[in-house]
Amino acid sequence: MTRLKLLVTGTATLFLLPTAAQAATGPQLWSQAGCGGCHTLNAAGSTGANGPNLDSLRPSAGAVASQVTYGGGGMPSFGGSMSSADIQALASWVSQSAGGSQASAVATSGLSTTATTKIQRDLKKLGFFHGPVTGYYGPLTTAAVKRFQRSAGLKADGIWGPKSASALRHRLG
């Protein structure tokens, strides 16, 4: 029998995913995590009123992934209970179902998810990145890049470029 963890926050009750559910699809993850208890999403047949109406909001996959991973605005973080692959699967499905953009931070950073994952791991190794390694170039990665750039005497703009990459290679030896 699979056991689910129960998390109660305010008026919302959320079921955190069991390990066995980690290969699930977007709709399965939505259902298992109890997203419909808070959010409206026509594709899921849910009419929750505690969280934003995702059909109206039309969030990008990157925005959904960030919100699910880190929480905020009344929503708990699922970064510790869902794998990054499941978060990405859920985010992609929600965004596509709601009519949002599949664009993520890759569009703004110009880096692939694989490149961003490597940067996050390397910056974590050096003590600059403190979040979960997700491959998402969002606010946590930008802040870590700025900290690293300042420490390397570079312009701290949070944009990963050749100078930042060279400084990182030098630091890693």
What's the pLDDT score for residue 106? Answer: 44
- pLDDT tens, 77-128? 888 888 888 888 888 888 888 876 544 444 445 677 888 899 999 999 999 9
Is residue 70 domain-shared with residue 138, that is, in the same domain? no
CA separation (Å) from 133 to 15, 45, 88, 115? Answer: 23, 32, 12, 11
Is residue 14 domain-shared with residue 89, that is, in the same domain? yes
- pLDDT tens, 126-162? 999 998 888 888 788 888 999 999 999 999 988 888 9
What's the pLDDT score for residue 142? Answer: 86
Is residue 81 domain-shared with residue 136, that is, in the same domain? no
Look-up: residue for tokens 């419909």? Answer: 36
Q: 138 and 105 in contact (C-beta within 8 Å)? A: yes
Strands (E), the chain: 5-9, 12-16, 40-41, 46-47
Is residue 114 domain-shared with residue 94, that is, in the same domain? no
- Lowest-confidence region among 32-36, 61-65, 88-92, 152-156: 61-65
Is residue 82 domain-shared with residue 112, that is, in the same domain? no
> Is the pLDDT higher at 28 or at 126?
126
Is residue 89 domain-shared with residue 46, that is, in the same domain? yes
Is residue 144 domain-shared with residue 63, that is, in the same domain? no
Q: Which domain holds residue 121?
A: 106-172
What's the pLDDT score for residue 109? Answer: 59
What's the pLDDT score for residue 15? Answer: 43
What's the pLDDT score for residue 103? Answer: 45
- pLDDT tens, 10-22? 444 444 444 343 3
User: Which of 48, 66, 98 lies at the terminal end of a domain, its last residue?
Assistant: 98
The pair of structure tokens assigned to 88 is: 């990405």
Give the number of residues written for the chain. Answer: 173
What's the pLDDT score for residue 148? Answer: 97
Is residue 79 domain-shared with residue 14, that is, in the same domain? yes
